[in-house]
């Protein structure tokens, strides 16, 4: 009998990332393709998803394919409804990719996928309640209660990135203004750096400078980290979770982001003399958490 | 055999309100006592609780007593931990009131009590998921999932009032700044009116003026109503509930508050062309929801 594998594809604002996992959840292969951009044709995104997926196929086809996407996915896991960074609008993504690949496909929001990965193989193993925040181009989120991802009445729970944190604040791609992800995301990191330096650097460049000790770059991470802690404090007031797990591409810098976030969380939470502050920890499945979680959802739902 | 009744006492920032309910949840009597203030002795608050409770006793003692309190109550329902408007600090309120009255006592956060009332006898009957917001001196909140109030890892879920909505905003009694309840509460209503008129009016006076058509008073309700909608939009993004129920003393004005809240909710939610906006409805158990819910919790837990 053939060895079984599952493929997960994470569709983000800047890239499409695919992984292949084994039956025990080990990541065996990884590939990325560029994202065509939010004004591209929907089919161009589907091309990128299919190509990235096939990049990680073994000599056997995978058993099933999971798709993790930044934005609103319907409760049935059939349609991508809306998102600030992707061109899909009310698009039957699950069936389109199933038709292209001939595989069983599952579709979920990226942060829901990341939370599933963390619960199964990551920092949230055994957790009853957990807040998951993914920081990439924007912010994704998921809420775990009773050991499961809360999907909400319409499948839309966990869309933390578009909570307003600044009245009449920065305009957001979603059409609103002052959204949390305008202050705490890869895009925000780039904006803060651009304002300070007068030139554009992308996120990995800012990270490299920060690790080399550059003070402007470190302050840029401190800025988005502080906003991370402020927003998490609000969500901790609302949910009172056991722990907070932070994933997504930007989280790969670790304490450059998480140390200021922990300080702001403790400073922004009511009554900390009388209540515990939950630990804020990095996602163990790393920036690939969405893709890994999508693959594990495909595995666990077959 | 004697007729059975239950008493609920709601301890808020400005008054202590007691109700007596029958076995089928009907409110049979109501009484209020003034709150001694947040700098009073803890025992002065307990005096007010006991006096208000005894004011509504039938000729028989009630079967049990429920206490609803604005602020943080521990997960075991034994201690009042901390709150901006009450003097109790890590106080064993359940046992103190049990000793004073000789009754079985249950203790919970005011908005958790209000949510229980709405689920059992109010606007949330049959709801699987619901967001409960109570607007009194400050903001209380509760989250219902799976038909039950979510208590959180430490019993502290639903503390929405101290989520930051304005960076470096108005100072809050809790020690933080920019908290939601500084912009959307009875206190906020009084502040907005005071700034506009140059003199102090209390909430009921502002309400009377608004009902009489006074434009300043109507604008004051529109201001806190708009902030209600903005904050609710953030929580709807996070939880995706079936409905939003608004209770607490200030909610007694109805659409003066709720109409601007509904408009701001629809304007502040991401992707409303692709997602439903949940109904925002008044609590059916009215401003007494906390006290009624506390009595029903005492009934349902005996």
Residue B105 is given by DSSP the state E
A109 within a domain of the structure (yes/no): yes
CB contact under 8 Å between A174 and B81, yes or no, is no
Residue A268 to residue B158, Cβ atoms within 8 A? no
Assigned domain for B262 exists: yes
pLDDT in tens, B242-260: 999 999 889 989 999 999 9
Whole-model pTM?
Answer: 0.88
Q: Are residues B296 and B185 in the same domain?
A: no
Domain CATH for B47: 3.30.420.40
The size of the A-B interface in CB pairs under 8 A is 149
A278 with A292, same domain: the answer is: no
A-chain residues near B152 (CB < 8 A) = 129, 239-241
Residues 6+ apart with CB under 8 A from B302: B63, B64, B104
Q: Give the mean model confidence (pLDDT) for residues B156-173.
A: 94
Binning pLDDT at 50, 70 and 90, where does residue B148 land?
confident
Residue B250 CA to residue B261 CA, distance in Å, equals: 13
More confident of the two residues A62 and B271: A62
Q: Are residues A220 and A292 in the same domain?
A: no
> According to the model, what pLDDT value does residue B210 have?
96
Asked if residue B138 and residue B105 are part of one domain, the reply reads no
Q: How far is A82 from chain B (nearest CA, A)?
A: 6
* Residue B266 pLDDT greater than 70, yes or no: yes
> How big is chain A, counted in residues?
302
Residue B120 belongs to some domain of the structure:
no
Of residues A150, A179, A242, nearest to B145 (C-beta)? A150
Mean pLDDT, all residues of chain B: 93
Range with lowest mean pLDDT among A83-87, B49-53, B215-219: A83-87
By CA distance, what is A91's nearest residue in B?
A: B274
For residue A231, being part of any structural domain is answered with yes
Judge if A145 and A228 occupy the same domain: yes
Q: Rg (Cα) of chain B, in Å, rounded? A: 18
- First CA to last CA across chain A, in angstroms? 18
Residues B21 and B88 reside in one and the same domain: yes
Our CA-based measurement puts residue B292 at a distance from the nearest CA of chain A, in whole angstroms, of 23
Of the partner residues B153, B167, B275, the one whose CB lies closest to the CB of residue A72:
B275
DSSP state of B250: G
> Is residue A110 located within the same domain as residue A197?
no
Residues of chain A predicted below pLDDT 70? 1-2, 302
Please report whether residue A37 resides in a domain: yes
8 Å CB contact between A108 and A73: yes
Can you give the pLDDT at residue A273?
Answer: 83
Q: Are residues B67 and B153 in the same domain?
A: no
Closest chain B C-alpha to A97 CA, distance in angstroms? 21
A122 falls within a domain = no
Asked if the Cβ–Cβ distance from B158 to A238 is below 8 Å, we say yes
| Chain B partners within 8 Å of A239 (Cβ) | 143, 150, 152, 157
CB-CB under 8 Å, A81 with B274: yes
Is B157 close to A238, i.e. CB distance below 8 A?
yes
Question: What is the per-residue pLDDT across B174-200, written as a single tens digit (0 to 9) for each?
Answer: 899 999 999 999 999 999 999 999 999
Q: What is the pLDDT of residue A302?
A: 45
Q: How many domains does chain B have?
A: 2
Which of A72, A157, A269 shows the shortest C-beta gap to B239?
A157
Q: Could you say which of A141, A164, A275 has the minimum Cβ distance to residue B154?
A: A275
Residue B149: closest CA among chain A residues belongs to which residue? Answer: A239
Neighbouring CB atoms inside 10 A of A76's CB total 9
At which residue do the structure tokens 């554009």 appear? A200
Q: Report the pLDDT value the prediction gives residue B1, as an integer from 0 to 100.
A: 55
Residues of A in contact with B238 (CB under 8 A): 141, 143, 157-160, 163, 235, 238
Q: Clarify whether residues A189 and A279 are in a common domain.
A: yes
| Beta carbons of A237 and B150 less than 8 Å apart | no
The closest alpha carbon to A17, from A114, A141, A91, belongs to A114
Residues A233 and A149 placed together within one structural domain of the fold = yes
- Looking at residue A1, what is its pLDDT? 56
Provide the token pair at B15: 């008054």
Query: Does residue A147 share a domain with residue A105?
Result: no
Q: Distance (Å) from the C-alpha of residue B228 to the closest C-alpha of chain A?
A: 12
Instruction: Give yes or no: residues A149 and A250 share one domain.
Output: yes
Closest CA of chain A from B29, distance in Å: 33
- Top residue of A78, A140, A156, A175 to mutate, by most chain B CBs within 10 Å, is A156
pLDDT digits (tens, 9 = 90+) for A215-228: 999 999 999 999 99
Contact B204, A202 (CB under 8 A): no
How far apart CA A228 and CA A206 sit, in angstroms, is 18
**Residues B160, A278: C-beta atoms closer than 8 Å:** no
Query: What percentage of chain A has pLDDT greater than the value 90?
Result: 81
Q: What per-residue confidence (pLDDT) applies to B302? A: 45
Which residue segment(s) compose the domain that B179 sits in? Answer: 126-283
pLDDT digits (tens, 9 = 90+) for B20-40: 999 999 999 999 999 998 889
A230·B164 Cβ contact <8 A: yes
């Amino acid at each position: 009998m053939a060895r079984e594998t599952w493929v997960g594809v994470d569709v983000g604002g800047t890239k499409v990332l695919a992984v292949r996992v084994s039956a025990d959840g080990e990541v065996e292969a990884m590939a990325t393709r560029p994202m065509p951009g939010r004004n591209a044709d929907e089919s161009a995104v589907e091309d990128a998803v299919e190509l990235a997926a096939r990049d990680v196929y073994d000599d056997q086809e995978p058993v099933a394919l999971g798709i993790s996407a930044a934005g609103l996915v319907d409760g049935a896991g059939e349609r991508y409804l809306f998102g600030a960074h992707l061109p899909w609008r009310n698009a039957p993504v699950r069936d389109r990719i199933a038709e292209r690949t001939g595989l069983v496909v599952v579709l979920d929001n990226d942060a829901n996928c990341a939370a599933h990965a963390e619960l199964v193989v990551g920092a949230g193993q055994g957790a009853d309640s957990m807040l998951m925040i993914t920081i990439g181009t924007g912010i994704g989120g998921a809420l775990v209660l009773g050991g499961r991802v809360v999907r909400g009445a319409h499948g839309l729970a966990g869309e933390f990135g578009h909570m307003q944190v600044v009245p009449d604040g920065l305009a957001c791609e979603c059409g609103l203004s002052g959204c949390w992800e305008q202050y705490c995301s890869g895009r925000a990191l780039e904006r803060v750096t651009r304002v300070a330096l007068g030139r554009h650097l992308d996120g990995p460049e800012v990270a490299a400078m920060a690790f080399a000790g550059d003070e402007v770059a470190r302050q840029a991470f401190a800025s988005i980290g502080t906003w991370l802690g402020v927003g998490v404090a609000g969500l901790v007031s609302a949910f009172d979770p056991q722990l907070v797990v932070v994933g997504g591409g930007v989280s790969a810098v670790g304490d450059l982001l998480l140390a200021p976030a922990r300080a702001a969380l403790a400073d922004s939470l009511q009554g900390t003399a009388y209540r515990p502050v939950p630990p804020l920890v990095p996602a163990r499945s790393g920036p690939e958490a969405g893709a890994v979680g999508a693959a594990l959802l495909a595995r666990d739902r077959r």
